[in-house]
């Protein structure tokens, strides 16, 4: 069975028209919701999408043989840096409700990962309220954590800062993983949002490695998207710093989990060697950035499952861990959770 831990919701245009309306009136017309019907949600999953190579979300999953996908908001749409902050609250709640409805309309195919209303006008205690709602009311199995709620416009507290502790407390209380994944990126930042993802995930891993977070929260579960940014691939440089602190970088990295959304077989194999197969989970972000065909192979760039199957160094047990058992353990997915089961 293939469990993809890195997916994002495919929603109809009405959700983003709702966002545009919120930004236009800045709350003066109150919160009317997006008004999306079930039929429109189904259509968004089944209609060919030019942004995804002219193929629908479900067709991408079917072609790849992905049985279950964990879906979260499209990160670049989350508008954490917008003001007033209640607009972020409204849009996040609406998006999470859309995700919950998609999961209900496609039972056994999707499980929800919550977006958090990470406006810096409030803070982690307020963000945790939406996390609790999504886990207790919608059955979501984790939450996206954006290390940069300012979206490139200011310097946020590092993840090692006690500022974040109320969120770590809530994740431990609910026993769900936090999934490190950056969101949008705005001027004056120099990078685009794709580079921002990798940069912020690198900074997140570095901050956690040099902190007491996992000592203070020994049951905290953190999954870092996109293979952990640069850290596993530049680990020699960071290993030297760890030695100076009297630590081993390998031990620090193995306090976290990492997904395989890397798009090349050599990068995936390197990640697994760096952190261990038991700390890696299959993630494709399909459909998304990688949904374009490689002219050399004819495959989709985000056919991560094919890349993993091509790596000769992996055993059948390794692939089982990557594709299924690690995800079941980390996200506490019941054995009956599978496409086509009741």
* Residues catalogued as catalytic: 285
Question: How many whole angstroms separate alpha carbon 134 and alpha carbon 224?
Answer: 20
Alpha helices (H) in the chain, listed in sequence order: 13-25, 38-46, 57-64, 85-105, 124-138, 165-174, 193-209, 213-216, 235-244, 249-253, 265-275, 304-310, 316-320, 326-331
Please tell me whether residue 255 adopts helix, strand or coil conformation.
Answer: coil
CA 201 to chain CA centroid, Å, is: 11
CA 131 to CA 166: how far, in whole Å?
A: 12
Q: How far apart are CA 13 and CA 265, in angstroms?
A: 34
CA–CA distance, 166 with 175 (Å, rounded to integer): 14
CA atoms within 13 A on the CB side of 267: 15
Distance CA 198, CA 334 (A): 31
């Amino acid at each position: 069975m293939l469990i993809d831990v890195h997916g994002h919701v495919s929603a109809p245009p009405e959700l983003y028209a709702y966002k545009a309306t919120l930004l236009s009136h800045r709350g003066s017309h109150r919160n009317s919701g997006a008004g999306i019907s079930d039929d429109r949600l189904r259509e968004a999953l089944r209609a060919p999408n030019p942004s995804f190579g002219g193929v629908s979300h479900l067709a991408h999953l079917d072609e790849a043989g992905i049985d279950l996908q964990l879906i979260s908001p499209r990160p670049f749409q989350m508008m954490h840096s917008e003001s007033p902050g209640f607009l972020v609250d409204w849009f996040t709640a609406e998006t999470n409700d859309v995700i919950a409805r998609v999961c209900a309309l496609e039972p056994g195919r999707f499980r929800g990962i919550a977006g958090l209303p990470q406006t810096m006008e409030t803070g982690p205690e307020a963000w945790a309220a939406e996390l609790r709602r999504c886990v207790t009311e919608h059955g979501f199995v984790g939450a996206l954590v954006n290390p940069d709620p300012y979206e490139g416009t200011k310097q946020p507290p590092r993840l090692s800062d006690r500022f974040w502790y109320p969120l770590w407390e809530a994740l431990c209380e609910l026993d769900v993983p936090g999934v490190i994944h950056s969101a949008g990126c705005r001027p004056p930042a120099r990078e685009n949002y794709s580079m921002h993802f990798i940069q912020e995930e690198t900074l997140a891993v570095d901050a956690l490695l040099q902190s007491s977070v996992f000592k203070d929260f020994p049951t905290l579960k953190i999954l870092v998207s996109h293979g952990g940014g640069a850290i596993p691939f530049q680990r020699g440089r960071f290993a030297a710093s760890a030695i100076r602190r009297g630590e081993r970088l390998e031990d620090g990295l193995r306090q976290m989990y990492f997904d395989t959304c890397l798009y090349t077989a050599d990068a995936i194999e390197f990640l697994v060697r760096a952190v261990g197969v038991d700390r890696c989970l299959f993630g494709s972000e399909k459909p998304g950035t990688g949904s374009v065909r490689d002219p050399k192979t004819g495959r989709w760039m985000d056919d991560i499952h094919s890349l993993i199957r091509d790596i000769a160094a992996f055993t059948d047990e390794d692939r089982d861990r990557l594709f299924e058992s690690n995800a079941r353990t980390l996200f506490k997915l019941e054995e009956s959770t599978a496409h086509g089961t009741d």
